[in-house]
Every structure is written in C-alpha cells, then in structure tokens.
Amino acid sequence: MDDPLVIAGREFGSRLITGTGGATNLAVLERALIASGTELTTVAMRRADAGGGTGVLDLLRKLGIEALPNTAGCRTAAEAVLTAQLAREALETNWVKLEVVADEDTLLPDPVELLDAAEQLVDQGFVVLAYTNDDPVLALKLEEIGCAAVMPLGSPIGTGLGIRNPHNIEMIVSRASVPIVLDAGIGTASDAALAMELGCSAVLLATAVTRAQDPERMAAAMRAAVEGGRLAALAGRIPQRFWAQASSPGRPLE
C-alpha cells in the first residue's frame, strides 16, 4: 500500500523515525537502523574533538538515511537557535528537530523557550519539527507559527513509560493539519502501535531500540508495530462495547 509520510512536501516510505543515541557502537546501530527500515534519523550536535571523525554521518550516508539534526541539550531559545544554525551549516540541511528542555530530571520541553525558538527558526527558513509536551494548546500554537511537524511526547525521554495520556494525543491529532509524530517515551512495540492507532502520522524513538537487549530485533518489532498501527488506524476499529456480542448467528439447537 502506497501511504507515504509527508513532511514539508517531502515523502518518506517509512513512518518510523529513529534516533542514533544510546547504541553501544556503530555496528549495533547499523544493524538496528537497517532492521527499522527508517529513512530519517536524528543526530545531535556536539563539540568536535580535535581531529575527530564524523562516524555517524558516514554511516547514515552509506545507508541512504537522511540525518535530522536535533538541538538536544539546549535549555534556552538562544542556545537552540544557534545550535540549529550550526547544524544547518555542518549538515547542509535546513531541517531541525527542535528540542528545548527545562531540566535534567524530567527532560520535559520548556514551552516558553520552545515557542520562542520555533518562531525564530521558522522565520529563518528552517523546517522545524518541534518536540513538545502532550499539550493540545501548545501543539496547535506550534503548528500555527509554522512548524512542519509537531512531536508530542508519550512520556519523558528515555523512560519507556509509553503513552501516559492517550486522550491528549488524540486531541492533538484531531485538530492538527501538520503531521503529528509521537516522540519520546516509547518502551515497546505496543506503545508504537498505539501511537499510530491514536492517529499519529509517525513515531520517533531511540532508546527503546538502542538500549534493548537485542536492538536489531526490537527495531524490526518497532517497524512492524508502526506499520500495523497505521493499518489499524486506516481500517477503522470496531466500537468498544460493554457486553459481549456473538459473532456466530443464533444457537445450534434452537
């Protein structure tokens, strides 16, 4: 079935966006990325060591996977904007996963700084994919100021707690006219499937795969879950009922 994910006019065959953080080494990451079927993967921006290489970029280039720079680690709009500008220069892409977190314990987005940074980056011509709280009000504001995709969390980064407020995600999806990507908190395949069943356009995950006991196998599981969840969402589930409803007609001896 031809059902591409479209962000800012660009088509992706896979609705699974991955991260590259947390893998023990590049060989493990490579196998996981291939198994995931992803076409878009985040990378972080950090100080280059003297003479240091760019191994992860070389790997993504080899696999034909688009690198999506993020602003992970930024706490203020100013930091995030500069980091995005550096990423644009280093990676020759104007796409950015905007991430502005408030503190180390929660890693929750700081909504004030996030909105400020998003506005600046949209004004500067960036394609902004904004990592946000599962707040339907903020999600709509991010869309209105021009974000290309809005990416609400299921639960805090790296927790694997799944989608703590499915109703919020449904509310966000129901009003959105840009892709909604469930980002953060995915623990296992059923979480990814649920995200898609709730109507999300894609899922972004890293830790659930890279820190799984078998990253390659979990990547394959996530791929199947995203595809299954998407199909279920398009197929239209049956309404939930309180009492049972037989699927066979009548009774045999009546």
Partner 1 sequence: MLIVINGEARQVAADATLAAVLQEFGVPERGVAVALDGAVVPRVLWPDTGLRPDATIEVLTAVQGG
Chain residues binding partner 1 by CB under 8 A are: 19-23, 26, 29, 42-48, 50-54, 56-57, 67-70, 72, 82-83, 85-91, 97, 99, 206
* Cβ-based nearer residue to partner 1, 22 or 166: 22
User: Is residue 158 a known part of a binding site?
Assistant: yes
Instruction: Scan for tokens 């995600």, then name that residue.
Output: 169
Q: Give the span between the Cα atoms of 241 and 75, in whole angstroms.
A: 46
Q: Is 207 annotated as a binding residue?
A: yes
Inter-helix orientation angle 77-91/111-123, to 10°: 40
Pairing verdict, β 5-7 and 95-98: unpaired
The Cα–Cα gap between 241 and 233 comes to 18
The answer on whether 159 is annotated among ligand-binding residues is: no
Q: Which residue is associated with the tokens 């398009």?
A: 234
Asked whether residue 195 is marked as a ligand-binding residue, the answer is no
Measured distance CA(86)–CA(227) in Å, rounded:
34
141 part of the active site: no
Please say which residue, 85 or 165, places its beta carbon nearer to partner 1.
Answer: 85
In the complex with partner 1, the residue whose CB is nearer, 201 or 207, is 207
Rounded to a whole number of angstroms, the minimum distance from the CB of residue 18 to partner 1 is: 9
| Active-site residue identified among 15, 88, 97, 141 | 97
Q: How far apart are CA 205 and CA 28, in angstroms?
A: 16
Residues with catalytic roles:
97
Binding residues for 1-deoxy-D-xylulose 5-phosphate: 158, 184-185, 206-207
